[in-house]
Amino acid sequence: MRKHYLDNIRWITVVIVLIYHVFYMYNAAGVTGGIGNITGLEVQYWDIYQYAVYPWFMFLLFIISGISSRLYLEKHTGKQFIKSRTNKLLVPSTIGLFVFWFIQGYINMSFGDAFNTLTGVPKVVQYFIMALSGIGVLWYIQILWVFSLCLLLVRKIDKDRLWNLGRKTGIIAIVLMVLLAYGGAQILNTPIICVYRFGYYAVAFFLGYFVFSHDEVIEVLKKYFFLLLAAALILGFAFCYKYFGENYADAPINRYPLFTSFGWFASMAFLGGGAKYLDRTNSFATRMTKRNFGLYVFHYLGISIVALFIGTRGTVHPALVYLLSLISGFVTSYVLYEVISRIPFFRWAVLGITRNKKEKESVQG
């Protein structure tokens, strides 16, 4: 049977990511990438939202991706798995950059007035720079494709010994796994571009595959949900209190024990709570699930358009800019998804949708 709680956790988390990017775009916390503070206030207390969600939402998505990979591989071969992941993940984050995402690159470069530094540079070179600058939120699917390749190699060596061992995981082991999250956060971090944290997210993905894909382990999370939630709330409050106003997204803060502990227990609580209360569906949830990938890949473009053409001008009240950005994040995503998913070649290059692809309701990949 389809595990509806995985679908619901996924689309709810993507909505949280969208809201996060609205605050991130205009943040006063010194996190680079958007246009920054548009209110003129020295402190924007609503920026606390970023601190409350950043340590865990992508970590949770990688856990869900690990679980989903196991479910997919139970009914498909390794060859089918990598073909599916290449179409869905690698193609949009490579070919898609040159077909569509150079638009995001243009906007990102416009934020930093980068074109003034490229005067005299051939147009074709500028185009390649724009394409690479348009990666944006696609970093997640790039890393996920790398993990998918690594998973096939690990499976070939392991032959399900680790996976069978994972079935025995109890609450004490789950609590102690916070040490793995901390250790992962210390390694395989790329310089400059801080989102490429291969160690931290590998822990999430592979534990999702080997441990949390077991119904028995999910039952443990459900049983201790309130304990995990209490731990997450306490750690979250401590993290926000201690680091508010500092750059939470980069080293050294994103490698500190408080960051990784909060990220771990919040993810466990969300996963356990989702399994406990969200293992059902309705027409709204089904629509959100169907369009979830489009919402993820397109939402930041919608926010960026408002930021560039309205937010940077300073002629509209900041509160309205925030609201328009939020609305644009949703509307742009759904419009682009509906349009591009119907255009041959573009639906493959941008969304990884093959012409004859049909998603089976019984498989979550």
pLDDT for 250-304, tens place per residue?
999 999 999 999 999 999 999 999 999 999 999 999 999 999 999 999 999 999 9
Q: What whole-number distance in Å separates Cα of residue 242 and Cα of residue 202?
A: 27
pLDDT of residue 187: 95
Residues paired with 34 in a beta bridge: 32
What parts of the chain have a pLDDT lower than 70? 356-365
Residues paired with 197 in a beta bridge: 189
pLDDT of residue 261: 98
Are 293 and 138 spatial neighbours (Cβ–Cβ below 8 Å)?
no
Q: What whole-number distance in Å separates Cα of residue 329 and Cα of residue 24?
A: 13
pLDDT of residue 360: 43
DSSP 8-class letter at 335: H
Q: Which token pair is 337?
A: 């998804």
Largest CA distance in the chain: 63
pLDDT of residue 112: 80
pLDDT of residue 364: 56
